[in-house]
Amino acid sequence: MTKKILLLLLLIVCCIWAYLQLSSRTQKILVLESEVRSVPIKYLVVHSFNETPEKMVDNLQKYGLSVHYLIDAKGNIQQLVPENRVAWHAGPSFWAGTQGLNRSSIGIELEHADFGQTDFPKAQIDSLIHLMKDIIQRHRILPENIVAHSDIAPDGKMDPGRAFSWQQLAEQGIGLWYNIDDADKLPPDLTVAELLAMVGYPVKGRQLTASAWAFREHFMPEVVPYDGDIQKRGDMIFQARQKVAKLPAAEQAKALEQVPAIYPPDDGTYLTDPHFIQVLRAVAYQYQQQRLLHP
Ligand SMILES: [Zn+2]
């Protein structure tokens, strides 16, 4: 009898221990500004921020913004909005013909002191991979729809940043990478704008240069230099965009054109760089093939 009670006690202790382990990784949901979802989840968007998680949550609340998950530098996951609600994390955005990705996406924010300019901690990436695999499986998110904030809003956003390794994620079956040998499989006369659009990037007006930058950050991070001014520029652009958002709707598009772009000044020579074009062709081929599989 005593042995049975001891075994029962041991079982209870084990259950409590397992529960505490789990709840220390995924904390309770703190519901931020959000609304009921009316369309299916199709996209997964990765972000980064360089505040403490507490300050980040304060800032989100202050600006009426929100995101589904926040992962701190140690790898702890905090859920801020349930997945069945729309969170306000993507802002003005575009991917492969879809405008405004908030309604159909889940957003994940990563704490990073250097705003994605230097390596992300292993524990944090491990947690992210675990969470992304779970979300992708539950919502059947296609690999071509797993994107960086900078991919879908290249004109104003540069997160998660050059040090975020999409190649490492692709090796884990998350998102797409490329095979350089595929570069020759597309017709030779496609322009950079046509190739970027095949991947999914917006290419209208100055978005072409911004998208080319975002593409390099995602698929050629080794050629993107460390950017020490990124936070300052990002803050300035965020404030300028907040002012635009307060204008009457009819005036916003024109005013938005006056807000400087976030990517660093560049003479644009990379648009004609043969290596850039070769990688872009290989990536465009990969995305084209994927979309043929999932029309
Ligand atoms: Zn972001």
- Give the tens place of pLDDT for each residue, 207-255: 999 999 999 999 999 999 898 888 888 888 888 988 988 899 889 888 8
- The token pair at 254 is 């024109």
Q: Which domains does the chain have, with CATH numbers?
A: 27-227+264-293 (3.40.80.10)
Percent of the chain exceeding pLDDT 70 equals 92
pTM of the model: 0.88
* 149 Cα to the center of ligand 1, angstroms: 5
What was the pLDDT predicted at 14?
58
Mean pLDDT calculated for residue range 268-290 = 93
- Give the tens place of pLDDT for each residue, 75-128: 999 999 999 999 999 999 999 999 999 999 999 999 999 889 999 999 999 999
The residue that leads in pLDDT, 57 or 2, is 57
What was the pLDDT predicted at 19?
53
- Give the tens place of pLDDT for each residue, 129-164: 999 999 999 999 999 999 999 999 998 899 999 999
* 109 Cα to the center of ligand 1, angstroms: 7
Q: Catalytic site residue 109?
A: yes
* 153 Cα to the center of ligand 1, angstroms: 9
* 73 Cα to the center of ligand 1, angstroms: 16
* 92 Cα to the center of ligand 1, angstroms: 11
Mean pLDDT of the chain: 90
Catalytic residue among 109, 111, 144, 217: 109
